[in-house]
Every structure is written in structure tokens, then in C-alpha cells.
Amino acid sequence: MRVAFVIFDGMTALDFVGVYDPVTRLRSMGILPDFSWSIRAWTETVTDDRGLRIVPDSVAESFEGFDVVIVPGGFSTRTLRHDSAFMAWFRGIEVVPLKASVCTGSLLLGAAGWLRDKPATTHPSAIDDLANDCREVRSERVVDAGDIITSGGVTAAIDLGLHLVRRFAGEAARLRIAEQMDYRNGITPEAPDRG
């Protein structure tokens, strides 16, 4: 299984790192030894919405060969969705079978047209905005629509990550990773998935 983490200027770093941590533990904790990932950007360096600089693993490359792609949010998504060069690259994730987003990352999925017939969620402040591009916006922590999974604001990244862990490796793996992350609220049983 290969995961692409998309990062971009003006993102909220915790949207990305909050899901990167639980998901990458699938390999670091020896649960799925063949699990791999790549951090992919459109620019050489990515600066988050408050100045933190991250170096991606690849720049402006395609998304061929990935099984999952994960997209963070941040205020910049509101403008990036109108940036034709960025969106031309971003639309390349169409080939990835499972797409997931955190926070206002769903605005990018919506702008690409992938939420027109799906339920989805986003940051509470972006509910009305997302509604223009989405069949039904829900106020839930994680909305699993099968091949697209969206999640709520910032810290919902952790819940999305644990949800993905369960989809990829089962409930025992989710519990083990949540415990290693000292995520006490994440250790209680989750609501049923696939909205």
C-alpha cells in the first residue's frame, strides 16, 4: 500500500501531521511492513500558514501508482482552488482510488468536482462554502463515502488517521496505534463508517 501526502504553501501543518503520525505508524510499529508513503508538493519547499518550512519528497510529480492520497486544509485552499497551474497538478490525484482530506482540504476535492454526488465534511467555518460543490455537507468528525473520506477541522486529522488505520489494518491496529499516541479519546469504539 502506497500513500501520497499532498502538502502546499499556506496549509495548516497540524492538518497534515495529525494524519501523517497515525498512518505512518502502520510501518514504524511493524503492523504493515510493506506500507510506504511519499510527501508530495507543487513547490520545492512548503511554508505553512504560520511560517514553518517543510521539504517534500517530490516536486510537481504525478500521482500514478498510489493507492491513497491525503489532502490537508488551510486558508490557502480558498485561493488555490482558483489557481489553474496548481489545480492542473492537483487534478492528477483523480487516478488515486482512495482520496481523503482534513479540514478545508475538502474545498480542493470539491473544486475538482469529486464531491458532487457525495456526502462530505470540512472545518465548521467552511460548511456553507463547501455546500456549493457537495451533495450533502455533514457536521461529523469523519465522513467515509467509500472512495472519498473527509474530516472536520484541524485536530480531526488524528481521527481521520485512526479511521484510515482501521480501514487498512483493522480495529486492533487502530487501538494499538491510538494507545501509542496516548490518544485517550481515540481508544473508545468508533461510530460505524461509510456514510
Helical pair 156-169 and 171-180, crossing angle rounded to 10 deg: 140
Kindly tell me which of 23 and 145 has the beta carbon lying closer to a second copy: 23
User: Which residue among 72, 74, 110, 186 contacts a second copy (CB under 8 A)?
Assistant: 186
The yes or no reply on residue 158 touching a second copy (CB under 8 A) is yes
Q: How far is CA 50 from the centre of its chain?
A: 20
**Does 55 engage in binding with a second copy (CB under 8 A)?**
yes
d(CA 77, CA 12): 10
Count other C-beta atoms under 10 Å from residue 94's C-beta: 12
Nearer to a second copy, 108 or 160 (CB): 160
Q: Of 154, 147, 143, which is closest to residue 192 (Cα–Cα)? A: 143
Cα(56)–Cα(60) distance, integer angstroms: 10
18 vs 195 by CB, closer to a second copy? 18
Stretch that binds a second copy, among 22-30, 58-66, 90-98, 108-116 (CB under 8 A): 22-30
- Among 36, 18, 34, which residue's Cα sits nearest to residue 177? 18
How many binding residues for a second copy (CB under 8 A)?
35
- For a second copy, the binding residues (CB under 8 A) are 12-14, 17-18, 20-21, 24, 27-28, 39, 45, 49-55, 57, 103, 123-124, 152-156, 158, 180-183, 185-186
